[in-house]
Amino acid sequence: MTGVRPLCTTAERICTTTEGSDPAWPADLLYGRLLATAAQQALGGGPAPRAGVRSIDGSLEPLALDRWLGGLEAADWAALAVAAAPVLDLGCGPGRHLVALRRIGKRALGVDLSPVAVQLARRRGGAAIPGDLFGAVPGAGRWNTALLLDGNVGIGGSPALLLRRTRELLATDGLAVVEVDPPGAPTYRTRIRIEARDVVSEWFTWARVGIDGIGSLARRARLVHEDTLNAGGRWIALLRRP
């Protein structure tokens, strides 16, 4: 979820939780704070801060700060192998995919709402800009590949809308490389928040998409589900713009 698209985005404003108890931070601000802390601690050889993503049903998953700041896994390399330049990384986070693309000679640009994530991506050698993928994006309609990895297909809580926007950004015959949940996993809309020690974010809308549901979403976005990659227990759908 490296491309968190919260409901309220003003970093200076402190929201309140739906329960009206402890103060809650804007999601992009808390995400940036945790990311910066994790990067700083990684330089000193320490662990990332413990944080998680709470769903409205009460379930809690770890916030994968270590992975986003680390190297690539087999699934990441498989995704980048099929990516034709120029590549647009939507919700690029701290830029591990951008750095790898640069190393293998593929021109790429990352877009992320978090200024902290963009700054980290640039420090690591990636080209990245702060921005909303639903807003003005350089080169719209001319990108050969768009990446939606690390669960970023959930951005905004409407995968069909997100995939339609991705199609607009792609060139004709362009490829959307979309990480999804494994077979049997449901496709649904939810609300989540980030939780860390003594602090939480506001609730915001998100979505989960299973591989079984990506075909119908792709058709609604006028994309063709061309193939599926499975590496290291992660699933990636390849969606072609006709």
Q: What is the mean pLDDT of residues 15-31?
A: 69
Domain boundaries, the chain: 15-240
The Cα 202–Cα 217 span in angstroms is 28
pTM for the model: 0.89
Rounded to 5 degrees, φ, ψ at 86 are: -75, 145
Topology of domain 15-240, per CATH? Answer: Rossmann fold (3.40.50)
The Cα 84–Cα 16 span in angstroms is 44
Please give the radius of gyration of the chain, using alpha carbons only, rounded to the nearest integer: 17
**Which residues touch 82 (CB under 8 Å, ≥6 apart)?**
145, 175, 177, 229, 238
The confidence band for 4, taking pLDDT boundaries of 50, 70 and 90, is very low
Q: What is the mean pLDDT of residues 162-173?
A: 98
Bridging pattern class, strands 128-130 and 143-148? unpaired
Q: Which is more confidently placed, 141 or 40?
A: 141
